[in-house]
Every structure is written in structure tokens, then in C-alpha cells.
A = this chain, B = another copy of it.
């Protein structure tokens, strides 16, 4: 694993960078959709594998709402395995003997990339709600600056699920000449009313927590743990299918012979949800949750191209592999199909796979053999086209 320190020259009052952070001042300010030009943008990222001499084997993996750059290694806070260790490593689907895999923490995130949790260089205090509201396109702009900084002219592939898939679509739409292959997984060209509604519930849960302090909880030495946990619980239910919840938990009780006639977690599913909430708040920032969900809600690729999704991809040279999951009710197959139709309308090179699974939206994080095979097959074919040598194994 390779995680070089690309520190730029630091201003006198800028925070010191960690090993896996880079300050992109040489790439100029980040011009955001809202009109703000953001100076001193810092991106934290991890890499796996080795960049070849031609810089042709780089794969950018875009993480989802609550993901981060710890793709294929233990998480520094939770010590859990990386969120895509199943997929990324020597001999795996994203074969680090063949590819140079890059995973940056997204703009607005809370694991070292510039976001509301970080220090505003202009004030020396945490951004909080003074951080500008960002978009998926802004996240992708920051990534493009990182990729330029790494000297990579064209990515072999951009891959991601959920919000990661939206970033993939945005990459293909905004930088078609800099992407050879694109794999949007369990994604959509826009956020639906139901998607927005569930996100709004989460945001309201956070803002309802008095410890949120109007967004300024860091200065107050507090953290809206309770509100953030509720937001996570509400979201988590939407990531699983009813079938998966039934199979995993059903109405089984949690370590007890009968119901207790109380408000403890009698049912396993309650205990599981509470655990999801309480572990999440240890590693995630509440304001980041607000900003990232907002960026997702704002995402509407068609709207940004005159109301016609196909226009986002006109004359695209990118090869696409669009993947959806049968039991994903949050970003259902119909949304992926709309992307495929748009790509077909401009005669793009696109393959489409709907994976049969009961595991719901989170399937892209799980061990789904058919999904693995589809992704491996597409990447192998694309890599051969691109002329990348086979891996060592």
C-alpha cells in the first residue's frame, strides 16, 4: 500500500497536514456551484497498488454518504476492515497488482478533506455552518484537482455506489476526456422526492438536538450524538430491504424469552438499529451529514443539462457499466434504467446489469457473487481495451 505525502508548501497559519492529506493550492481555488471560491482545499486520500509509468492504470473509487477513504485497510477510528476490502486488493476484482486504486475523502466529509468540521483558514475556527453548501459537482471538481495533482491525465476507471455512483455520473458528464470507463452502482441521475424526504428527516433529527448548537457545537465542546444517531437509524432502515430485515431479524427477540412490556430493545432489529446509531456517531460529523445529504438532494444531472439527461453524455467516449440491485428500493432499478436509456439515446458504449439480490441498497458493500462477476468482467474487458497488462497473478 502506498500513501505518499504530497504536502504543498504550507501557509504560516494553515493547519499542518497529515501523511495522507494534500493541500491543492497549486491547482488554484475550488470554484463551487454556489459561487464561492474555496482556497486551500485539502483532500485526504488513500491509495492501493502502484501507478504504472504511463499513469494509465488509475482507478478512482468514490465513496458513499457515510464512507471514507479507508477502502481496503483498517479504519483508524473503528478498527473495522475497510469498507470495500472484499473488492480491493491483490487478485481481487479491483486487483491492486494491476490497478492503482485511489480513494479520496469527499469534499464536505469529515476524515481530513476540507469540510464543515475543518478549520476555516480565514478565521482559525471550525467552519460549521459557515462552510458553503456544496454539490456533487463540487466534490468531483475537488477530486479532479487531486487527480491533476497526481499527474494523471486520464483515469482508467471511476467506480462508486450510491452517492459514489452519482459522482461517477458527474465525472463522466464533466470530464469525459479524463475517464476511460465509468461504473455507477445503485445510483440515480437525480434524487427523488422520497430520497429528499428521508434525508430531510435525518437533517431535522440532527438540528433538533440542542447539542447541535445551531451548527457551532465544536466551539461549544459538544456533539449532537443523539440527533445524529437517530438520523443514522432512519437512513439505515432504507438501506436494507424488507426481505433482508425479515431474514436477518424477523420478530426474533434479543436475548430474552419473551417481550418485557417496556421500551428496552426487546426485538433484535431494535438492538441492531441502536447499535448502528451509537457506533456511527463515534466516527462521523453531524454537520458533514447535513452538507453531504444536501449535495445529494441537489443532484439532478438532467436539470444541469437543459432538462435532458442524455445531453449530459452527448458524444461521450466513456465506456459505462451501470449496475443496480433488484431489492434496492431507495435507488431502484428504474433509476439506473433511466441512465441507460439516456446513454443509449446518445449511442454511448454501455452495458447494464440488474443484480438479483435480497440485500437492498447496501448490496454494493456486501459479498454478492453475481455483482462481483459483473464488475470483474467489465473491468477486465475495459482494461484489455485500454491495453493494461494483466496482474501478476
Partner of A201, one of B193, B246, B273: B273
A380 → B minimal CB distance (Å): 36
Given known contacts A259-B298, A263-B294, A197 and B251 CB-to-CB distance under 8 angstroms: no
User: Copies of this chain, how many?
Assistant: 2
Known contacts A197-B245, A269-B197; A263/B290 CB under 8 A: yes
Stretch at the interface among A117-125, A155-163, A176-184, A226-234: A226-234
**A200 contacts B273, C-beta separation under 8 Å:** yes
A262 located at the interface, meaning its Cβ lies under 8 Å from any Cβ of chain B in the complex: yes
**Interface contact A193-B234, CB-CB below 8 Å:** no
Given contacts A132-B261, A261-B132, A298-B259, contact A251 B204 (CB under 8 A): no
A245 lies within 8 A of B192 (CB): yes
**Chain A 256-274 interface 0/1 with B at a Cβ cutoff of 8 Å (1 = within):** 0001011101110110011
The answer, among B133, B200, B249, B269, for a CB contact under 8 Å with A261, is: B133
Interface contact B261-A196, CB-CB below 8 Å: no
Contacts of A226 in B (CB 8 A): 208
For residue A208, which residue of chain B has the nearest CB?
Answer: B226
On whether the beta carbons of B200 and A269 are closer than 8 Å, the reply is yes
Contacts of A377 in B (CB 8 A): none
The answer to whether the Cβ of A154 comes within 8 Å of any Cβ in the partner chain is no
Cβ–Cβ contact B237 & A197, under 8 A: yes
Q: B196, B207, B233, B269: which contacts A196 (Cβ < 8 A)?
A: B269
Question: Which residues does chain B contribute within 8 Å of A201, judged by CB atoms?
Answer: 230, 233-234, 237, 273
A237 in complex: contacting residue of B34, B194, B229, CB < 8 Å? B194
The CA of A262 and the CA of B297, in the complex, are separated in Å by: 11
B261 touches A192 (CB 8 A): no
Let me know if B204 and A227 touch, CB within 8 A: no
**A386 interface hit (Cβ, 8 Å):** no
A291: shortest Cβ distance to chain B, in Å?
9
Q: Are A204 and B298 in contact (CB under 8 A)?
A: no
A63 within 8 A of B: no
Cα distance A329–B34 when bound, in Å? 37
CA gap between A207 and B263 in the complex, in Å: 10
A141 interface residue, CB < 8 Å from B?
A: no
Chain B residues closer than 8 Å to A229, beta-carbon distance: 204, 208
Q: Is A164 an interface residue (CB 8 A)?
A: no
Q: Is A23 an interface residue (CB 8 A)?
A: no
The answer to whether B273 and A233 touch across the interface, beta carbons within 8 angstroms, is: no
Closest to A291 in B: B263
Contact in complex: A193, B250 (CB < 8 Å): yes
Closest-by-CB residue of B relative to A129 is: B263
Residue among A209, A246, A290 with the most chain B CB within 10 A?
A: A209
Query: A223 interface residue, CB < 8 Å from B?
Result: no
Residues of B within 8 A of A290 (CB): 263
Residues of the B chain whose Cβ atoms lie less than 8 Å from the Cβ of A196? 251, 267, 269-270
B residues near A192, Cβ cutoff 8 Å: 242, 245-246, 251
A40 within 8 A of B: no
Bound form: Cα–Cα A261–B191 in Å: 16
Q: Evaluate contact between A191 and B245: CB separation under 8 angstroms.
A: no
Most buried by B among A248, A261, A262, A300: A261
A300 to B273, CA, bound (A): 21
CB of A243, distance to nearest CB on chain B (Å): 9
CA distance A290 to B262 in the complex (A): 10
Q: Can you give 6 A-B contacts (C-beta < 8 A)?
A: A33-B261, A132-B261, A193-B251, A197-B245, A204-B273, A205-B208
